Amino acid sequence: MSGRAPVIAARDLEVTYPGHPPVHAVRGVSFELFRGEVVGLVGESGCGKSTIAKVLTGLVRPAAGEVEYHGRPVRPLGVGRRPLAQTGIQMVFQDPGSSLNPRRPVGAQIQDGLDLAAKRARRSGRRSGAGPVGEPPADPANVRRVIGQPADAAVSPTAARLLPAGSPGRWLERVGLEAADQSRYPRSFSGGQRQRIATARALAAEPDVLIGDEPISALDASTQAKVAYLMSRLALSQGAVLLFISHDLSVVRLIADRLLVMWAGRIVESGPTEAVWSNPGHPYTKVLLGAIPAPDGAGRLPLVPPSAAAFDAPPVIHAP
Amino acid sequence: MTRVETQDRRQQAPRRSLTRRLWRAAPPGLRQPLGLVAALVAAAWLVICLIGPVIAPHDPLAQELPRFTPPGEIAFLGTDELGRDLLSRILAGARVTIGLSLLLVCLSMLIGSVLGLLAGFFGRWVDETIMRFTDLVLAFPTVILAMVTAAALGASLFNAVLAALVVSWPPYARVVRSIVLGLRGNDFVFSGRLLGFSAARSIRVDILPNTLGPTLVLASLDIGTAALLLSGLSFLGLGAKPPTPEWGSMVSAAVSHFDKWWLGVFPGLAILTVVMSFNFIGDALRDALDPGVERR
């Protein structure tokens, strides 16, 4: 993939949170994300995954290093309005309870995303909503198939083509809800539905980078794969890159082309999903894979945490 | 609850009487007898504010009846030292006392909310400046500061409201600021900012609507306090001037005729019922708007 320019790239990111002693959340992280790929960022709680997401969007200022978006540095978000050029980076947050404003109908919230896309399109002189949104991606190799999960399982069968492509109702249908739901408030939706609405809101802004910060960790097991699959399908159909952050390798594996394994603020292993899954090289990755419960009735406990020596183990990079 | 039970309830619904359905539709706080009585009393006072002078049996300023008539046939609640009808004065005074209290509360809410929103949203030196000033005002005893301000401005009803305003906005600023601090870390506020919201839009769309509920509760609890403060200033001669029928100044005038009990008791009861009813409504609103409380 080195022949193409990355859409977004992290260069030697260091993040420190103030405290006594200060928390060194991210210690020298670099990676590049390319158009049309789904990358899974996995690791245990507190390893710095969410911090990475916040730095990429500009919500957190890195202590050192920088984020480049289309070759230009991402400016940390201050009090003022976010630069329009950077609004192509969008994010779906972790907590379904607070990812939507409880006092606004969901349609109005999706409209915010549509307004932003229209505004960016006006600025760049092209028409918004012109892309093949909602259609299956041209390259089937881009989407990893979920076993027993038909491609349009989450999409409403009544998906009406009558609604304009850039309408909140149409977006609700794309994420498997009904157009009539747009006048309802977030409290009348379940956690999984809210995360789908949040996904619709972020994608309606036509981003080319979508970051999912543990968007499925608060959902039950049967909904997790559905939402993860929906996010990757819709993001890819827009030609966006999806950075999917999770502690749960078993779900990430289903959608990700490439994995970044993070531990204690560093990326300890990276490479194509299958290579990492079948041939983990770093001691921590082995532990992480060993922690996935198997439904074989053996009732094994996860492996013991890696020893301190694992800190010194060099990062493992699998060739693409 | 099982699905079968739910269906049973739906089938029974049409047979329920109108009052029963209204009762069930009311906020939970109002469904306690106390809340309901308070709501009725407050509603009655608000109606009197609107039509008080019309239903008053006499001109509240006219000195046409015998002086110091005890409650009875000539005057239902008696007459004062100038032969004015007490009932008419109380009815006419509702507009002054309650109207000014509402005005005071609205203005305090406005000033306090704006300052609280700015302090909570922008943080840093904006927050420090606004909140230290708020602390400064809070450090003075409320009534004393209001008295001093009213005395400095000169005795009039308008100045009394201004003086009361000086001391009554800080609680709003503090409450709104603390709500905003909590909201600011919410994911939907971040995602609004990521969608390119300006600070003003973020405040208007994501922050302000979520502060209104708790602020309204505080305001309804505060109406009683405002009425007391304004009456207190009038009682001290710093508010309404004679012959304006204001409840606080009526109580004040009654002090010099202590044996004529009706002069003080009836305006006092008016103040008491207004303060209490709005307090109960505030409690009821708080229960209704608290998302932790499920409707049953």
- Give all domains of chain B, ordered by start, each with its CATH number: 38-289 (1.10.3720.10)
- CB-CB: which of B191, B196, B197 is closest to A99? B191
Residues in chain A with CB shorter than 8 Å from the CB of B124 are none
Check if the beta carbon of residue A107 is closer than 8 Å to that of residue A183.
Answer: yes
Q: Which residues contact A118 (CB under 8 A, 6 or more apart)?
A: A128, A166
Q: Is A82 helix (H, G, I), strand (E, B) or coil?
A: coil
User: Do B42 and B270 touch, CB atoms closer than 8 A?
Assistant: no
Alpha-carbon distance A168 to B20, whole Å? 39
Contact B197, B184 (CB under 8 A): no
Question: Would you give the DSSP letter of residue B207?
Answer: I
Can you give the residue range of the structural domain that contains A192? 8-317
Residue with tokens 């049409």: B14
Altogether, the residues listed in chain B come to a count of 296
- Written as six digits, the tokens of A220 are 């039950």
On whether residue A258 sits in a domain, the answer given is: yes
Query: Quick check: A101 and B187 CB within 8 A?
Result: no
Say if residue B153's pLDDT is above 70: yes
pLDDT given for residue B7 in this prediction: 45
Sign of CA dihedral A289, A293, A297, A303: positive
* Cβ atoms of B277 and B269 closer than 8 Å: no
Are A59 and B194 in contact (CB < 8 Å)? yes
In a domain, A218, yes or no: yes
- Three-state DSSP class for A66? strand
Task: Tell me if A3 is assigned to some domain.
Answer: no
Tell me whether residues A98 and B194 touch, CB distance under 8 A. Answer: no
| Any domain includes A2 | no
What CATH number corresponds to the domain at position A267? 3.40.50.300
Burial class (CB in 10 A: 0-12, 13-18, 19+), B167: buried
ipTM of the complex: 0.80
A136's enclosing H/E stretch is: none
As a whole number of angstroms, the distance between CA B135 and CA A157 comes to 59
Please give the share of chain B, as a percent, with pLDDT higher than 70.
Answer: 86
B157-167 average pLDDT score: 88
Please judge whether B196 and A89 are an interchain contact, meaning their C-beta atoms are less than 8 angstroms apart. no
> For A111, which residue in chain B has the nearest alpha carbon?
B195
Cross-chain Cβ contact B190/A93 below 8 Å: yes
Q: Please write the tens of the pLDDT for every residue from A210-242.
A: 999 888 887 777 778 888 888 888 888 888 899
- Provide the residue type at A270 as one letter: S
Please list, in sequence order, all residues whose beta carbon lies within 8 angstroms of the beta carbon of residue B270, skipping any fewer than 6 positions away: B90, B93, B94, B97, B247
Report the distance separating Cα A229 and Cα B199, nearest Å.
34
The separation between the first and the last C-alpha atoms of chain B, rounded to the nearest angstrom, is: 13
**Backbone dihedral angles phi then psi of residue B255, each to the nearest 5 degrees:** -60, -35
Tell me: the pLDDT tens digits for B208-235?
A: 988 888 888 888 888 878 888 888 888 8
Helix (DSSP H) and strand (DSSP E) numbers for chain A: 9, 11
End-to-end CA distance of chain A: 8
| Coil/strand/helix, residue B115 | helix
Residues of A with CB under 8 A from a CB of B: 57, 59, 77, 79-82, 84, 87, 89-91, 93-95, 98-104, 109, 112-113, 116, 119, 198, 201-202, 205
Residue A198, both tokens: 């949040």
The residues of chain A scoring below 50 in pLDDT are 1, 129-162
Where would I find the H helices in A82-218?
Answer: 106-124, 168-174, 191-204
User: Looking at residue B1, what is its pLDDT?
Assistant: 42
Chain B residues lying within 8 Å of A77, measured CB to CB = 193
Task: Identify whether A122 is part of a domain.
Answer: yes
Q: Does position B109 have pLDDT exceeding 90, yes or no?
A: yes
Asked whether the predicted pLDDT for residue B33 surpasses 70, the reply is yes
> What is the per-residue pLDDT for B12?
45
Structurally, how many domains does chain A consist of? 1
Supply angle C-alpha B170, B240, B249, rounded to 5.
100
pLDDT in tens, A69-121: 988 888 888 888 888 888 889 999 988 888 888 888 899 999 998 999 888 88
User: Which residues of chain B neighbour A201 with C-beta distances below 8 Å?
Assistant: 191, 195
